[in-house]
Structure 1
């Protein structure tokens, strides 16, 4: 029983310590948009992987895969509607 009380007490102390340093949401750019970087973080990180310099072909791959999937599903649905049997590979 003492161990459980000790663990609970340590948990409360760590929660209280975290709560003292928690962000209070006072510097909001817009309602609900209260994110702000840590102090000293630069406004723009030059040369990071998050710069908008991505190849449009690479960005378009997922959309193309989704279009192909929808076309396959349409063929499967048409075959099922006409025959009453579901076939995974419809050519």
Structure 2
């Protein structure tokens, strides 16, 4: 029983050390940019099977929604600066 437990612990330690060695952080493209793609992942995503091919109509909807959010937040901040009290619903 003791031998089985020792073998299991040794196997776990070996597995953990191999995972640590898988990424060494030494192949950075620039300081702070150390992301490495999995083997077989293309350098350029556009045109590959990983290209998400976003629908321009849906992207435009998202941009319009974000713009509206920014406008509402600007009104809220302006009102808070004026009154000294933050109100969520400012019209």
CA RMSD of aligned residues (A): 3.7
| TM-score normalized with structure 1 length | 0.51
Partner in structure 1 of residue 23 of structure 2:
23
Residues 1:68 and 2:72 aligned together? yes
Q: Which structure's CA Rg is the greater one?
A: 1
1:1-91 superposed matches below 5 A? 9=9, 12-20=13-21, 22-45=22-45, 46=47, 48-49=51-52, 54=56, 55-72=59-76, 74-75=78-79, 78=82, 80=83
The TM-score normalised by the length of structure 2 is 0.51
SS across alignment from 1:32:
coil
Report the count of equivalent residues.
81
Structure 2 residues not aligned, in runs of 5+: none
Equivalent pair of 1:76/1:90 in contact (CA under 8 Å): no
